[in-house]
Amino acid sequence: MKHVLLIVLFFSLHAVTAQVFNVEAIKISGDDDKRINLVILSEGYQSGELTQFITDATNFTNTMFGQSPFSQYANYFNVYAIKIPSNESGADHPGTATNVTEPYNNLPTKYVDTYFNATYDSFGTHWLLYYEIDGNSANNTHAKISTVLANNFPMYDQAMILVNSTEYGGSGGDFPMAYTGFWGARVVMHELGHSLFDLKDEYYPGDLLAAEAINMTQETDPNLVRWKNWLGTNNVGIYQYTCDTGNCADWYKPHQNCIMESIDKPFCPVCKEGIIEKIHSLVSPIDAYSPISNSVSNPSFPIDFSLDLIKPNPNTLESTWNLNTVEIATNTDAVSILETDLNAGMNTLTVAVTDATTLLRVDNHETFHVYTVTWSIDNSALGVKDITREENKFNISIYPNPTNNIITFKAENSLDTDLKVDLISIEGKKVKTVTLSNYETQNIDISHLSEGIYIAKFYANNVFIVSKKIIKN
Ligand SMILES: [Zn+2]
């Protein structure tokens, strides 16, 4: 999806021998520019073993997408495998680990000639399987990996390396690496948690790596902690880190059974939410829509407007269709507009799509994402002569919710326009209207309102975008 490595690509175009390898699709959900593209590179597979690599990459993919939240959001990902042959099989095992007694596991010392020079015993740890020997950047394997990607699949979002070895091992960083055995995929999922989804370790990672993050904080107030919406659900709490050395007592995590602590565990609810948030920020659930033509001359009625959505499984997307700010349909992928539905002159049809998954704490979730398509329909006396459309994305934050006096609104939108917010009481009465500038945080005093439920309705250029429930207590 992402267009990265342009500089590397530029130089590689001038290289004499840009190595091109066979790229095989393992899992295709849609166009590469509308999906998160994971790319698996082979290491330590000889030419004759590349069929086994595809089997291993497929098993890896099945394991990953059997795990929540990837199982629900599998349609947002493509997976490719780049078949890179090595001269010899497996990975180096120098036998120099200091954390075990070598030879460990009856594994002989060996050096093999492989493409990325993967090795066990990195930094003295037997199962640290890594591609720069003891962090020696003189090996330039990182650059070599980048070059392979630039020459063979520059649109990758995340690349990882599968090593043809049954001995447990793996490592993280820009390019997670793992052995092919049972835990390999789970090692990589943990590392993807860091590299693609901005999660922290839920074991203490050391003072240098401790920082405020989705699943790590110094805040201990249950009303303020960033995962407050989850407290008390599925064992989410505010758990102090433990460690032998360092300032771990200052830091807290949301769970005690998360894959970000131990790879035999699932993702905890807070990490799942973080992953889904990132998926939404990378990929719009609107894959395509119709019509896209900028000019439809004298179409016949009814005119069909439709969406092609990237649906989670089960489908948790909700859509709301508004014609001239009047809601005409919900949770449907298509509407038909009759000539009698239209006003004379300019009409606006907007569909807004949100994800109502319970894996996000929707009702009091801090930032929600709304994806819209708006069609402007010019209904002239001579019939519809022009339909234009635009696609937009809105990130809207409402907090704290519930509240008893001040509520804060913040909106970011790709239209770069002000939003109008109407606050509607449960009886349907408009109690407040606020104008919200793009990227601006605005604090609204609602202390004078009576307790109860209110609906905040958001409009952009007088076009209804979305409504959200607010609780005044
Ligand atoms: Zn977690």
CA of 202 to the centre of ligand 1 (A): 7
Nearest one of 169, 165, 120, 152 to 5, comparing CA atoms:
152
In the predicted structure, residue 46 carries a pLDDT above the cut 50: yes
Which whole number is the average pLDDT over 27-39? Answer: 96
Which whole number is the average pLDDT over 364-391? Answer: 77
CA of 185 to the centre of ligand 1 (A): 17
Q: Which two tokens stand for residue 438?
A: 């793009």
Q: Which residues contact 408 (CB under 8 A, 6 or more apart)?
A: 397, 398, 399, 400, 441, 442, 443, 444
CA of 70 to the centre of ligand 1 (A): 14
Where would I find the beta strands (DSSP E) of 301-418?
303-309, 317-323, 326-330, 334-337, 345-355, 367-380, 383-399, 406-413
Give the pLDDT confidence of 75-125 residue by residue, as tens digits: 999 999 999 999 999 999 999 999 999 888 888 999 999 999 999 999 999
CA of 339 to the centre of ligand 1 (A): 53
Q: Would you tell me the crossing angle of helices 50-64 and 184-195 to the nearest 10 degrees?
A: 60
CA of 201 to the centre of ligand 1 (A): 8
Q: Which two tokens stand for residue 66?
A: 């059997």
CA of 274 to the centre of ligand 1 (A): 9
Q: Give, as one character, the DSSP assignment of residue 232.
A: T
Nearest one of 377, 373, 354, 378 to 365, comparing CA atoms:
354
Burial class (CB in 10 A: 0-12, 13-18, 19+), 182: exposed
* pLDDT on residue 160: 97
* pLDDT on residue 293: 65
CA of 268 to the centre of ligand 1 (A): 4
Using pLDDT thresholds of 50, 70 and 90, give the confidence band for residue 298: low
Does the CA dihedral 378-384-390-394 come out positive or negative? positive
CA of 236 to the centre of ligand 1 (A): 9
In the predicted structure, residue 438 carries a pLDDT above the cut 90: no
CA of 270 to the centre of ligand 1 (A): 6
In the predicted structure, residue 243 carries a pLDDT above the cut 60: yes
In the predicted structure, residue 7 carries a pLDDT above the cut 60: no
Q: What are 360-365's contacts with CB under 8 Å, separation 24+?
A: 360/273, 360/276, 360/277, 361/229, 361/230, 361/273, 363/401, 363/469, 364/229, 364/399, 364/400, 364/401, 364/402, 364/471, 365/229
User: How much of the chain exceeds pLDDT 70, in percent?
Assistant: 93
189 or 369, which is more confident?
Answer: 189
CA of 209 to the centre of ligand 1 (A): 16
In the predicted structure, residue 195 carries a pLDDT above the cut 60: yes
CA of 67 to the centre of ligand 1 (A): 14
CA of 292 to the centre of ligand 1 (A): 41
CA of 351 to the centre of ligand 1 (A): 34
CA of 244 to the centre of ligand 1 (A): 21
Q: Which two tokens stand for residue 447?
A: 């202390």
Give the pLDDT confidence of 219-240 residue by residue, as tens digits: 999 988 989 889 999 999 999 9
Q: How far apart are alpha carbons 333 and 85 in whole angstroms?
A: 45
Give the pLDDT confidence of 452-461 residue by residue, as tens digits: 999 999 888 8
CA of 195 to the centre of ligand 1 (A): 15
* pLDDT on residue 9: 44
Q: How far apart are alpha carbons 214 and 197 in whole angstroms?
A: 9
Which whole number is the average pLDDT over 299-308? Answer: 88
CA of 261 to the centre of ligand 1 (A): 7
Q: How far apart are alpha carbons 116 and 40 in whole angstroms?
A: 13
CA of 218 to the centre of ligand 1 (A): 15
Using pLDDT thresholds of 50, 70 and 90, give the confidence band for residue 296: low
Q: Which two tokens stand for residue 118?
A: 């993967």
* pLDDT on residue 297: 64
CA of 256 to the centre of ligand 1 (A): 8
CA of 131 to the centre of ligand 1 (A): 27
CA of 266 to the centre of ligand 1 (A): 8
Which whole number is the average pLDDT over 32-42? Answer: 97
Which whole number is the average pLDDT over 409-435? Answer: 89
C-beta of residue 408 within 8 angstroms of C-beta of residue 399:
yes
The 3-state secondary structure of 260-297, one letter per residue:
CCCCCCCCCHHHHHHHHHHHHHHCCCEEEEECCCCCCC
Q: By mean pLDDT, which of 78-92, 258-272, 337-351 is the weakest? A: 337-351
CA of 156 to the centre of ligand 1 (A): 25
CA of 183 to the centre of ligand 1 (A): 18
| pTM, full prediction | 0.86
Helix (H) or strand (E) holding 425: strand 419-425
CA of 267 to the centre of ligand 1 (A): 5
CA of 186 to the centre of ligand 1 (A): 14
**Half-sphere CA count of 120, side-chain side, radius 13 A:** 32
CA of 132 to the centre of ligand 1 (A): 29
CA of 12 to the centre of ligand 1 (A): 39
Q: How far apart are alpha carbons 174 and 189 in whole angstroms?
A: 13
CA of 263 to the centre of ligand 1 (A): 11
Q: Does residue 408 sit in helix, strand or coil? A: strand
CA of 192 to the centre of ligand 1 (A): 13
82 or 348, which is more confident?
Answer: 82
In the predicted structure, residue 283 carries a pLDDT above the cut 60: yes
* pLDDT on residue 4: 46
Q: Which two tokens stand for residue 202?
A: 């839920």
133 or 364, which is more confident?
Answer: 133
Which whole number is the average pLDDT over 22-51? Answer: 97
Using pLDDT thresholds of 50, 70 and 90, give the confidence band for residue 135: confident
Q: By mean pLDDT, which of 3-7, 212-216, 376-380 is the weakest? A: 3-7
Which whole number is the average pLDDT over 154-181? Answer: 94
Q: By mean pLDDT, which of 52-66, 351-365, 393-407 is the weakest? A: 351-365
Residues forming a β-bridge with 160: 40
Q: Give, as one character, the DSSP assignment of residue 365.
A: -
End-to-end CA distance of the chain: give it in Å, rounded. 44
* pLDDT on residue 81: 98
C-beta of residue 77 within 8 angstroms of C-beta of residue 36:
yes
Cα-flanking dihedrals φ and ψ of residue 9, to 5°?
-60, -40
Helix (H) or strand (E) holding 159: strand 158-163
Which whole number is the average pLDDT over 352-361? Answer: 88
CA of 205 to the centre of ligand 1 (A): 14
CA of 317 to the centre of ligand 1 (A): 24
* pLDDT on residue 132: 87
* Mean pLDDT score of the chain: 89
Boundaries of every domain in the chain:
4-195, 203-283, 284-472
Q: What are 328-336's contacts with CB under 8 Å, separation 24+?
A: 333/306, 333/307, 333/308, 333/309, 334/304, 334/305, 334/306, 334/307, 335/304, 335/305, 335/306, 336/302, 336/303, 336/304, 336/305
* pLDDT on residue 461: 81
CA of 55 to the centre of ligand 1 (A): 30
* pLDDT on residue 388: 79
CA of 254 to the centre of ligand 1 (A): 6
CA of 273 to the centre of ligand 1 (A): 9
Give the pLDDT confidence of 378-416 residue by residue, as tens digits: 888 776 667 778 888 888 888 888 888 999 888 888 878
In the predicted structure, residue 6 carries a pLDDT above the cut 80: no
CATH code of the domain occupying 4-195: 3.40.390.10
In the predicted structure, residue 325 carries a pLDDT above the cut 90: no
19 or 380, which is more confident?
Answer: 19
CA 298 to the chain's CA centroid: 42
